[in-house]
A and B are shown apart, each in its own frame.
Chain A
Amino acid sequence: MTILKSAQNGTTRIIFLLGEGLIGAAVVRALERLGCFEIQRTKNEWNDRIAFERQLEQTVDTLVYDRINRIDWIWSAGKSGFNSTVEDTTQEWWSFNCFLRVIKAYESRFKNVYSYFHLISSAGGLFEGQRVNVNSLPNPCRPYGKLKYDQEEQIRSMFVGKFSIYRPSTVYGYYRRGQRSGLISTLIRNVFINKVTMINGHPDTLRDFIWIDDVADFISEKISFDSPFGNINFLVSGKPTSIFEVIDNVQRISNCKVLFSFDTSMSNSHSIIFDSELVPEYWCPTNLDIGLRKVRESAMDI
């Protein structure tokens, strides 16, 4: 968990972020670019429920600085992914509720502090296999999607009017050793080490790829400037991209042959398509080709 502080115009704002995975770490970097500074960082005790709860309580208890006007709580945590089982998601659901309990306890102690919740959800998990437009309703097909749906419902009921939900599509970002990476960064990394990449899906499986910094910038601006975006934000590019197109682009930008094989037995090979109307106004997602070049640079450095 990471705590950041920002003091502007005589007001002090605390940002409490839980989970520094791909998106969480990018949000921290984006917030720092906007003038926030880190005041505390702790490694989470995910595997021990008691230790996790105690650690969370103790960390939140330290938030007693003078003149705190607002705290933004960000849930960007969890080890669950598309292939998680019910057991995995149950663990994450417990951690999530533990976080909410601690926040509510804090709110009851410091009633003059304005509390706002940001949830990083998953557009893919909620709308798997759908052609999504403004009228589409979530229909999770697997435990991960159900978890995200339940998390959203929980936030809606507990933080009425004081929450933002972000639904990013397929996020890709810089390659970082030891960190969970998505299809694109794995593909690019494997090109340089001449390794075969196993791809879950068909060549024409359509995905909506979104660059990590676009997601992070959107969230950090929403936090820092209270941007007038809605409570539920689809962070999608609105451009369906086939796996074949990704492979071809990777070959082109790396000047190397991509070694790959398709595993069509996996159940997440369905296309997920987002209508361009869902793209937030005044938000211009990075072109896939440029994003791929950035990933290539990060993969070459390692």
Chain B
Amino acid sequence: MISITTVTPIYRGEKTLRSLVMALDEYRKSLEIPECPIRLVESIFVDDGSSDNSAQVLRELKREYPWIHVITLSRNFGQHPATIAGILHSSGDWVATLDEDLQHHPRFLNYLLKEAVNAQVDIVYANPIEAVHQSLWRDLASRGYKLILAQLTRNKFMPLFNSFRMVRGSIARAASAVSIDQTYFDVALGWFTTRIKGLKLPLVDIRYVETGKSSYSFWSLLSHARRLLQSSNVKFLRLGALIGLLTMMMGIVGIITTTVIKLKFPDLITVPGWASNIILTLFIGGLNAFLIGLVLENISVILQQSYGKPKFFEIDRSTDLIVSDWFKRFQE
């Protein structure tokens, strides 16, 4: 049997929780058919210090649905730490993370799993077919933000990042185990696998469409960007070092040229000292930039190690075939 665990971080979700659990229950029952090798074994809800009545609603739901597990965090830690806490309590072969507002509907879980096993990948991110916020400005900003960060970090998977994901259980747990409070969870997942895909699904940010308010403020997006850059191996540091090296070399060429001119053609020098000044600035500035770039790159490597980047990780994908076969037969 291939088991799925869902993990949902909850923050002020009392209004949508019941609908979500009912949708999960429906999905759970849909799998309970003969010969189906997949089971939704548990749904973990992490109450991330909600200030509304979410805790009470979760308690009631737990009584009605015994396959629900509730974890209560002592304060509001944020979406990623809450997701990590949930994953560290999971036991499924696959772990699906989804938001509480039904933007990530459980009916899509089979699509994600099917994509994962058919393509033998370890992570499938759900990506919206159309503009998720139904607001041109908001969607362009979101896309642009991800593209800029992808360029800065040279992480080609960054545009795929989404909190609706299906992750192989072992990788989800390992990435969660190594993550510290400053680690960006999706970057940590990328330390364990590069078999990552996106799947286009009809996702809509209902909260934004209805209220015009995003769950992310400008400052929280900035904080996200900072953590993303901190967790990633920042490639533009290398670019800085390269520019420094080139500038320093230009300085060296300048020194040689000026010395030759000074010795062979002194008449060509109309303003004495000007060229030497520029050349020295180029050389010393370039040298500084190059050395700082090297130091920063080393610090980046050390930081990544302290953030938990592993040397290697083993994986077993042998059960994918069972699920893949079943999906084929089920379709027929």
Contacts and interface: CB of A to CB of B under 8 A. Distances in A.
A275 to B, nearest CB: 8
A107 interface: no
B177 A249 contact: yes
A203 B91 contact: no
A273 B316 CA distance: 19
B3 A204 contact: no
Interface of A: 131, 133, 202-204, 206, 239-242, 244-245, 248-249, 262, 271, 273, 276-277
B170 A204 contact: yes
A245 B89 contact: no
A203 B178 CA distance: 13
A240 B174 contact: no
B133 interface: no
Given A203-B170, A248-B308, A276-B69, A239 B89 contact: yes
B177 A245 contact: yes
Interface string B165-178: 00001100110111
Interface in B145-190: 169-170, 173-174, 176-178
A204 B174 contact: yes
Interface string B291-329: 000000000000000001000011010000000000000
Contacts of A203: 170, 174, 313-314
A241 B174 CA distance: 10
Nearest to B90: A240
B66 interface: yes
B177 A131 contact: no
A131 B169 CA distance: 15
15 contacts: A131-B41, A131-B91, A133-B66, A203-B174, A203-B313, A204-B174, A206-B91, A240-B90, A242-B170, A242-B173, A244-B177, A245-B88, A245-B177, A248-B308, A277-B66
Contacts of A248: 174, 177-178, 308
Top 6 closest pairs, chain A to chain B, by CB: A204-B170, A245-B177, A240-B91, A273-B91, A248-B177, A242-B173
B95 to A, nearest CB: 11
Contact of A204 (B173, B178, B308): B173
B145 to A, nearest CB: 31
Nearest to B44: A276
Contacts of A276: 69, 89
A4 to B, nearest CB: 37
Given A241-B88, A242-B170, 18 more contacts: A133-B66, A202-B316, A203-B170, A203-B174, A203-B313, A240-B89, A242-B173, A244-B313, A245-B88, A245-B173, A245-B174, A245-B177, A248-B174, A248-B308, A249-B177, A271-B91, A276-B89, A277-B66
Contacts of B169: 204
Contacts of B41: 131
Nearest to A204: B170
Contacts of A202: 314, 316
A167 B106 CA distance: 36
Contacts of A239: 88-89
Given A206-B91, A245-B88, A248-B308, A131 B3 contact: yes
B316 A244 contact: no
Nearest to A133: B66
A239 B88 CA distance: 8
B308 A244 contact: no
A246 to B, nearest CB: 9
A150 to B, nearest CB: 29
Contacts of B308: 248
A134 to B, nearest CB: 8
A273 B3 CA distance: 12
B89 A242 contact: no
A203 B174 CA distance: 9
A206 B41 CA distance: 15
A242 B170 CA distance: 8
Contacts of B316: 202, 204
Contacts of A241: 88
Contacts of B69: 276
A10 to B, nearest CB: 43
Nearest to A246: B177
A242 B177 contact: yes
Interface string B267-307: 00000000000000000000000000000000000000000
Contacts of B90: 240
Contacts of B3: 131
Interface string B38-49: 000100000000
A5 B198 CA distance: 66
B129 to A, nearest CB: 33
B66 to A, nearest CB: 7
Interface string B66-107: 100100000000000000000011110000000000000000
A152 to B, nearest CB: 25
B41, B89, B169, B177: residue with the most chain A Cβ atoms closer than 10 Å: B177
Nearest to B88: A245
A246 B314 CA distance: 16
Contacts of B314: 202-203, 262
Contacts of A206: 91
A206 B316 CA distance: 14
Contacts of A240: 89-91
B66 A242 contact: no
A202 B178 CA distance: 17
Nearest to B42: A275
A273 B42 CA distance: 12
A242 B3 CA distance: 16
A284 to B, nearest CB: 12
A131 B178 CA distance: 25
A240 B88 CA distance: 7
Nearest to A262: B314
Contacts of A262: 314
